[in-house]
Amino acid sequence: MRQDPNRLSFEIEARDGTARAGKLVTQHGEVVTPAFIPLATTGAVRGLDTDEVAALGYEMVLGNTFHLDLRPGHEHIRSLGGLHKFMNWDRAIITDSGGFQVFSLAHGNVADEIKGRRGSAGNHGAILDIAEEGVRFRSYLDGVERFMGPEESMGIQAALGSDIALVFDECTPYHADLDYTARSTERTHRWLDRCLKWHESEGPPGQAVFGIVQGGVHEELRRSSAERVSAAAIDGISIGGTLGRDKDEMAGVLELTTPLLSVDAPKHLLGIGEPDDLLNFIGLGIDVFDCAVPTRLGRHGVALAPLPDDRFRMNVRSPDLAADEAPLVEGCPCPACARHTRAYLHYLTRAEELTAVRLLTLHNLTYLERLVRGAREAIAAGRYEEYRSAGLAGAAPWSA
Partner RNA sequence: GGGGGAGCGCCGGAGUUGGAGAGCCGGGCCGGACUGUAAAUCCGGUUCCUACGGAUGAGUGAGUUCGAAUCUCACCUCCCCCA
Label residue 377 exposed, middle or buried (CB < 10 Å: 0-12, 13-18, 19+): middle
Smallest gap from Cβ 13 to RNA, in A, equals 26
Q: Is 120 in the site for RNA (CB under 7 A)?
A: yes
Query: Does the annotation mark 96 as catalytic?
Result: yes
Look up 290 and say whether it is catalytic.
yes
| Angle, helix 219-230 to helix 247-257, in steps of 10 degrees | 40
Spatial separation of the C-alpha atoms in residues 361 and 89, rounded to whole Å: 18
Residues numbered 292 to 311 that lie near RNA (CB under 7 A) are 292-293, 295-297, 299-302
Per CB under 7 A, does 136 bind RNA? no
**Residues in 234-273 that interact with RNA by CB under 7 A:** 238, 240-241, 247, 250, 270-273
Per CB under 7 A, 58 contacts RNA: no
Residue selected from 19, 62, 160, 329 as contacting RNA according to rule CB under 7 A: 62
Question: What's the full length of the chain, in residues?
Answer: 400
Q: Which of 123, 230, 262, 341 binds RNA (CB under 7 A)?
A: 123
Task: Find the shortest distance in angstroms from Cβ 271 to RNA.
Answer: 2
What string of DSSP letters covers 263-297?
A: TTS-EEETT---HHHHHHHHTTT--EEE-SHHHHH
Contact 88, 52 (CB under 8 A): no
**Cα–Cα distance, 235 to 211 (Å, whole number):** 8
Nearer to RNA, 117 or 331 (CB): 117
Least distance between RNA and beta carbon 140 (Å): 3
- b or e along 280-293 (b: 16 or more beta carbons within 10 Å of the residue's beta carbon)? bbbbbbbbbbbbbb
Shortest distance in whole angstroms from residue 31 CB to RNA: 16
Q: Could you tell me which stretch among 3-11, 84-92, 93-101, 329-337 binds RNA (CB under 7 A)?
A: 93-101
CA distance 347 to 325: 12
Binding to RNA by residue 34, rule CB under 7 A?
no
Cα separation values, 247 from 55, 109, 317, Å = 32, 17, 26
Alpha carbons 139 and 95: distance in angstroms, whole number: 19
The residues annotated as belonging to the active site are 96, 290
Binding site for RNA (CB under 7 A): 39, 41, 45-47, 62, 64, 67, 96-97, 99-101, 103-105, 108-111, 119-121, 123, 140, 166, 169, 171, 212, 214, 238, 240-241, 247, 250, 270-274, 277, 290-293, 295-297, 299-302, 313, 315, 317-319, 350, 352, 354, 357
